[in-house]
């Protein structure tokens, strides 16, 4: 899919959820620049329209869909409409996610439900809807955007970390069940990546202390994830499925 350009070979369309900001927006632009038609889905339509205009101005192709991934009926309808735009989906970047931090003793249950509904249930709904089409078309590649918090612990993010751990196990279950349909399912587990939303925190003394605990001694940048994402979407990774690839400057292997 995201393999190097080869004349005459069309890149398959890729659906990116949560494409209105942050990493999803970055992934959509990066994959469009690599020649993939992009189906960009998120809740905020104006931001998506801006993204589509930027992709078009750069010579790419994009269609946009206002979508709440927690709405099962809307997910099915959007995936059907996306597949009708540029032909069968070859890839999915399952990126939509939220965090609402709270200590577990004070955890608000509605917030717990929102975090699990978006990061885990929503990711499942989108992946399943996309996989049904991929199975009919002969296969595809799904990349679930997890987190190193699905593999390690940090205080105050119990709901989020639990959802991401669930997403990692769901990745393995989907990989097992869908390999027979030619569908590969892998998880990309970013470490702490600087985006507009967390920039102020990482500039604070607490944030700076966190950066010092990363072996690479710096935050990730969105583009640090590009090679891993392109690999997992690429036919060159045709025998890689059920894997969890951390891109974290060594954060998971930090010393005790």
Binding status of residue 81 toward ligand NAI by CB under 6 A: no
- What's the closest the beta carbon of residue 65 comes to ligand NAI, in angstroms? 10
Looking at the chain, how many residues does it have? 256
Asked if residue 150 binds ligand NAI (CB under 6 A), the reply is: no
Query: Would you count residue 100 as binding ligand NAI (CB under 6 A)?
Result: no
DSSP per-residue codes, 170-218: HHHHHHHHHGGGTEEEEEEEE--B--TTTHHHHHSHHHHHHHHTSTTSS
- Is 76 a binding residue for ligand NAI by CB under 6 A? The answer is no
Per CB under 6 A, contacts with ligand NAI among 4-33 are: 17-18, 20-24
User: Quick one: which of 42, 127, 131, 134 contacts ligand NAI (CB under 6 A)?
Assistant: 42
Q: Which is nearer to ligand NAI, 105 or 209 (CB)?
A: 209
Among 169, 194, 189, CA closest to 232: 189
CB 223, min distance to ligand NAI, A = 13
Bridge partner residues of 38 (DSSP): 14, 62
Q: Which stretch binds ligand NAI (CB under 6 A): 67-75, 134-142, 171-179, 231-239?
A: 67-75
Q: Which residue among 27, 65, 112, 160 is the active-site one?
A: 160
Binding footprint of ligand NAI, residue count (CB under 6 A): 27
Are 188 and 146 in contact by the 8 Å Cβ rule? The answer is: yes
Alpha helices in the chain (DSSP H): 22-33, 45-57, 72-86, 109-116, 123-137, 158-178, 199-203, 205-212, 226-233
Q: How far is CA 102 from CA 36, 98, 143, 195, 224, in A?
A: 39, 13, 28, 21, 29
203 binds ligand NAI (CB under 6 A): no
162 near ligand NAI (CB under 6 A)? no
Instruction: State yes or no: is 239 an active-site residue.
Output: no
Distance between CA atoms of residues 197 and 112, nearest Å: 21
Question: Is residue 144 involved in binding ligand NAI (CB under 6 A)?
Answer: no
Decide: is 122 part of the binding site for ligand NAI (CB under 6 A).
yes
Do the bridges between strand 91-94 and strand 244-247 make them parallel or antiparallel, or are there none, so unpaired?
unpaired
- Interacting positions 225-254 with ligand NAI (CB under 6 A): none
Which whole-number Å values give the CA distances from 39 to 64, 180, 237, in the listed order?
6, 26, 22
Chain-centroid distance of CA 253 in Å reads 23
Which tokens in the block code for residue 198? 């967390």
Q: Is 98 in the site for ligand NAI (CB under 6 A)?
A: yes
CB 88 within 8 A of CB 13: yes
By C-beta, is 83 or 143 nearer to ligand NAI?
Answer: 143
Min. distance of Cβ 161 from ligand NAI in angstroms? 10
| Nearest distance from C-beta of residue 96 to ligand NAI, angstroms | 4
Residues acting as catalytic residues: 160
Q: Which residues bind ligand NAI (CB under 6 A)?
A: 17-18, 20-24, 42-44, 67-70, 95-98, 118, 122, 145, 147, 190, 192-193, 195, 197
């Amino acid at each position: 899919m995201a393999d190097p350009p080869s004349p005459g070979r069309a890149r398959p369309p890729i659906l990116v959820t949560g494409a209105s900001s942050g990493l999803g927006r970055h992934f959509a632009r990066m994959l469009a620049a690599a020649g993939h038609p992009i189906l960009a889905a998120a809740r905020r339509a104006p931001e998506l329209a801006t993204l589509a205009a930027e992709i078009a101005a750069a010579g790419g192709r994009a269609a946009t869909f206002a979508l709440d991934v927690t709405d099962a009926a809307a997910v099915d309808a959007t995936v059907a409409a996306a597949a009708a735009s540029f032909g069968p989906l070859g890839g999915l970047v399952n990126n939509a996610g939220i965090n609402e931090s709270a200590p577990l003793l004070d955890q608000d249950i509605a917030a717990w439900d929102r975090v699990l509904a978006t990061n885990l249930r929503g990711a499942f709904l989108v992946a399943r809807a996309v996989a049904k089409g991929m199975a009919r078309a002969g296969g595809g590649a799904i990349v679930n955007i997890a987190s190193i918090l699905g593999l390690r612990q940090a205080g105050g993010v119990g709901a989020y970390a639990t959802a991401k751990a669930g997403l990692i196990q769901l990745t393995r279950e989907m990989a097992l069940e869908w390999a027979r349909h030619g569908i590969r399912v892998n998880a990309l587990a970013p470490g702490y990546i600087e985006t507009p939303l967390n920039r102020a925190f990482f500039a604070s003394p607490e944030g700076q202390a966190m950066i010092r605990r990363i072996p690479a001694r710096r935050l990730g940048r969105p583009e640090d994830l590009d090679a891993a994402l392109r690999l997992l979407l690429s036919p060159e990774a045709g025998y890689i499925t059920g894997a969890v690839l951390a891109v974290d400057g060594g954060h998971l292997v930090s010393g005790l």
